[in-house]
Amino acid sequence: MPYQMIQETPALARIELTPNQSLGPRGFVWFIGLTAAFLALPMIAVLGTAVLWGLLPFMGTALWGVWYALGRNNADRSRLREELTLTRETLHLIRHQPRAKAPLTWEANPYWVQMTLRDKGGPVEKYLTLAGGGREVELGAFLSPEERVQLHDDLSRALARLR
């Protein structure tokens, strides 16, 4: 599960949300290997000719581009996370973004927080928001719709326990 509900005491709960890591190191090696093989397949027709040397830099650039994009995506995904801390006095959300200088924070009184799970009308399916303290913030936009529904249920129970 891309989020962990950490119950420390009855009056304190912490939730850590992270995006799904679908491509591990082994899958990365397989993907790059297969991409290199498929890019090399048309090169067989020009083996032994000068055309091969003209096409080789383009093949290498394409393979490097795929490698770089996957590596950058993996690095960004590993830096993206949200931490939600609930106490009787405050609900505190910190969102760590991949290339942001400082994390985004939001804080509100849990008694007045309104949680909304929208089926339609948001940027993603099952859009989960928290409203309070004069602002409305999204929660877990990188989770799947089913995970957002589960998070909504878990967070509702935690908020009910703290109120």
Q: Specify the CATH class of 3-19+80-162 in words.
A: mainly beta
Interval 120-145: pLDDT, tens? 877 888 999 999 989 999 999 888 89
- N- to C-terminal Cα distance for the chain? 26
Strand partners, 116: 129
The rounded distance, in Å, linking the Cα atoms of 46 and 54 is: 10
Nearest-Å Rg of the Cα atoms of the chain is 23
Is the pTM of the predicted complex or chain greater than 0.85? no
pLDDT at res. 22? 83
Tell me which of 2-16, 65-79, 115-129, 141-155 is least confident. Answer: 2-16
Domain boundaries, the chain: 3-19+80-162, 25-78
Asked whether the predicted pLDDT for residue 101 surpasses 60, the reply is: yes
| Dihedral over Cα of 68, 73, 74, 75: its sign | positive
